[in-house]
Chains A and B, each alone.
Chain A
Amino acid sequence: MKNNPYRLLGLGLVIGGAIFIPVAYFIINSIPLAAIALSSIMIGFTSIALSTARSQISPEASQMILETGMENIAALLEELGLNNKAIYLPSSMRTGNAQALIPLNGDIDIHRIKTKIPRRLIVRYGDKPNDMAIVVTAPGGSSFGRLDIKTGSTPSEIEQGISYVLTGLLDLAGSVEVHIIEGQLSIEVIGPRLHYENVWYYRCMGSPIASIAASIASDAIGKPIRIKEENYSKGRSRILLEVLE
């Protein structure tokens, strides 16, 4: 917090403005210059207020923790030879934070999930012996608890929820657009800070941004969601989410 740039900028503007106001008003006798000093103080206080937004741990430390978590899940997926796409579960089908279910055997019939998926690594989701899956917490899953808005199921409400988490809370993107195309959710993330990579983990779970979007959308719609497609070009990530019904 000591080297927080917003706080340093704010203090500079407030002190500079406070010194310059009497000089401009009483010595130079210029009201417009005094107004500039007044604006400087106001922007300075705003900047100091913004300094609370910056996390107490550095972005490098956050990235290291994220990568460590991803590497652990990737090692698990590779060891088990799982390459099925993860299914993001709505709160009505899970216990606790946002969860992604990765079936051990091929495709999954979502109607076989009758009860809430427990908070365990290996779960049985249906009656058949092969209805087994592993369940992991979706990246950013803990941040949804901080959502103080109830995300509705319309594209604009989903867009609002995803924008709030990706741009406001986590600062992972510039802006977000959500459309419904042929029953699928098309999400366009403008200026994403994390890109899709063609690695095992991303092929299975999706990129962290897609995972967060899928978790929020799943909660909003109240149905399980799978990341169908994801690509990045010209500063935009395009994510296609398939709603499983």
Chain B
Amino acid sequence: MRIYNRYLLLMVFASCLINVALAFLGQKDLTVYFVVIVIAYLLITVLFIYFSPRTRRALSLVSMVFLAGFLVVVVLKVLEVVHF
């Protein structure tokens, strides 16, 4: 199996597992799903070190976008805590 297919399948598997687990735990906050999936994405991407430089650059760009989303969520949560 191609390394890129393996990476994609692992992403799908991890996302499914996280969604099912959080749904099973009764999680009602969409941002929690997002944050956990972003962490899983970053971890899986770090594990696949043999990608070509071009692919790594493209994935880094996607990672940065996800990380920015992650930080926005964290900041909003912190502000929520500070205000109340």
Which A residues lie at the B interface, using CB under 8 A?
A: 6, 25, 31-32, 34-36, 38-39, 42-43, 45-47, 49-50, 52-53, 146, 148, 163-164, 167-169, 171, 174, 191
Contact = CB atoms under 8 A, between A and B. Distances in A.
Contacts of B61: 49
Given A39-B37, A164-B50, A174-B1, A50 B23 contact: no
Contact of A42 (B15, B22, B30, B58): B15
Contacts, number: 90
Contact of B37 (A42, A148, A163, A169): A42
14 contacts: A31-B23, A32-B19, A35-B37, A36-B19, A39-B18, A43-B12, A46-B62, A49-B59, A50-B55, A50-B59, A53-B54, A164-B49, A167-B50, A171-B4
B55 A52 contact: yes
Contact of B11 (A31, A32, A43, A171): A43
B58 A49 contact: yes
B22 A39 contact: no
B18 to A, nearest CB: 8
Interface residues of B, number: 37
B2 interface: yes
Contacts of B2: 171
A6 B4 contact: yes
A25 B28 CA distance: 11
A191 B4 CA distance: 15
Interface in B25-84: 27-30, 33-34, 37-38, 41, 49-55, 57-59, 61-62, 65-66
A31 B29 contact: yes
Contact of A53 (B29, B38, B55): B55
Interface of B: 1-4, 7-8, 11-12, 15-16, 18-19, 22-23, 27-30, 33-34, 37-38, 41, 49-55, 57-59, 61-62, 65-66
B8 A47 contact: yes
A35 B1 contact: no
**Chain A contact residues, majority secondary structure:** helix
- A-B pairs with the 9 shortest C-beta distances? A168-B50, A35-B33, A32-B23, A49-B58, A39-B15, A53-B55, A52-B58, A49-B62, A49-B59
Given A31-B30, A32-B19, A49-B61, 13 more contacts: A6-B4, A32-B22, A35-B33, A35-B37, A36-B15, A38-B33, A39-B33, A43-B11, A46-B59, A50-B4, A52-B55, A168-B52, A171-B4
A167 B3 contact: yes
B55 A38 contact: no
Contacts of A39: 15-16, 18-19, 33, 37
A35 B2 CA distance: 28
A148 B53 CA distance: 8
A46 B41 contact: yes
B77 to A, nearest CB: 16
A146 B55 CA distance: 13
Contacts of B65: 45
B55 A31 contact: no
